Amino acid sequence: MHAAVRAFLTLSLLIAAACTSGPPVELAWAAPLEIHSTPVPFKLDDTQAREIGRLIWRGGISMTANSRNFGGWSDLVVSPDNRTLTSISDTGPWFTATIERDGKGNLTGLGKATIAPLRDLKGQPLVDKSWSDAEGLATLPDGSWLVSFERHHRLWRYPTLDGTPTAINLPPGFEQQPDNGGVEALTVLGDGRIVAISEEYSLRRNALVGWIGRPIGPDRYLWDMFEYMKIPNFNPTAIRELPDGSLVVLERAFDFVRGVRVRVMQFPGSALKADAVIDGEELARLASPHAVDNLEGLAATTGERGETLLWMIADDNFNPLQRSLLLLFELAK
């Protein structure tokens, strides 16, 4: 999380202390979850607006739930049939829910849901924030789950999200990332390679360090490094491969005057090579009065008409001044 965002959250939490429901509590096992969904408008001052850049609005909701552990959602995976989503929180839980859409395929809500804790290498629930700060989520070709963590920077593979993980060997420099500026942008390509981009670790100005991991054995990868070019204030929070082999990245920025802004970037898969310098193309920029909050999670799927769908989820930081948003867009051709 960017330093400016952390400063804002500290201030706003102090202001809102009287109305907050308190910090998350320890989860020891899976529990049913009742999610309440409220539709959000795409653009506050224009009810007819449906497009921004190359994104077409397909619905959005603000989510609350009957659990103090619901919040902090940092990444997102949506099933290929667009019927189920899974997300992880930077306080340790994960949740899964069925997706509700209308007759046109637009997002309207979430249905049957479950929340449960991620576990450590000994099978115990992650509780301590320094170890439970899960930021990136992806699925591996064998159906297992890959999770990246900040603070104690690491990659763990989960056979199932309620199972006991194993540790994956880390690339050189991975442990040198800033304490709260590690890998949030994480994905697994169709060929099994891992792609990870650090939120803040940089060896030269405006060039963030990224890694490509090629599988060479169980939980073992051969790593190459590349650089991802950024502009001031914006840092990557999520990455996904699209059906055409290109990759989409979410970048977030924040300041007290303009609030949260998000850039949606794209670059070709062919650019992912050892020592490459990647400079993406901006597809859209989300900012108020458009629907936006602290968007940290991204999923990409194919819709019923063959269209590319982009799903985005926001981390509310358990702050009553923020929202847990789930947004759906179609990528214009």
**Where residue 257 sits, what CATH number does that domain have?**
2.120.10
- pLDDT on residue 12: 45
pLDDT-above-70 percentage for the chain:
93
- pLDDT on residue 136: 98
Averaged over 189-196, what is the pLDDT? 98
- Answer with the residue of higher pLDDT: 312 or 8: 312
Averaged over 78-92, what is the pLDDT? 98
pLDDT tens digit string along 239-295? Answer: 999 999 999 999 999 998 999 999 999 999 999 999 999 999 999 999 999 999 999
- Reply yes or no on whether the pLDDT at 93 is more than 70: yes
- Reply yes or no on whether the pLDDT at 2 is more than 70: no
- pLDDT on residue 65: 97
Exposed (0-12), middle (13-18) or buried (19+): which is 164, by Cβ within 10 Å?
Answer: middle
pTM: 0.93
* Both structure tokens of 158: 């989960």
DSSP assignment letter at 294: -
For residue 23, what pLDDT band results from cuts at 50, 70 and 90? low
Number of domains in the chain: 1
- Per DSSP, the residues of 54-77 read TEEEEEEEEEEES-TT---EEEEE
Boundaries of domain holding 249? 3-331
Say if CB 206 and CB 231 are below 8 A apart.
yes
- Reply yes or no on whether the pLDDT at 22 is more than 50: no
- Reply yes or no on whether the pLDDT at 206 is more than 50: yes
**Cα distance between residue 203 and residue 320, in whole Å:** 36
- pLDDT on residue 108: 98
**Cα distance between residue 113 and residue 115, in whole Å:** 7
Residues belonging to the chain: 333
- pLDDT on residue 18: 31
Averaged over 72-90, what is the pLDDT? 98
- pLDDT on residue 1: 52
Report the mean per-residue pLDDT for the chain.
93
- Reply yes or no on whether the pLDDT at 183 is more than 90: yes
- Of 74, 49, 54, residue with least CA distance to 248: 54
Averaged over 121-126, what is the pLDDT? 96
Averaged over 11-20, what is the pLDDT? 37
Q: If DSSP codes are grouped into helix, strand and coil, which group holds residue 201?
A: strand
- pLDDT on residue 203: 96
Facing residues of 62 across strands?
A: 38, 325
**Cα distance between residue 75 and residue 18, in whole Å:** 29
Exposed (0-12), middle (13-18) or buried (19+): which is 331, by Cβ within 10 Å?
Answer: buried
- pLDDT on residue 39: 98
pLDDT tens digit string along 35-61? Answer: 999 999 999 999 999 999 999 999 999
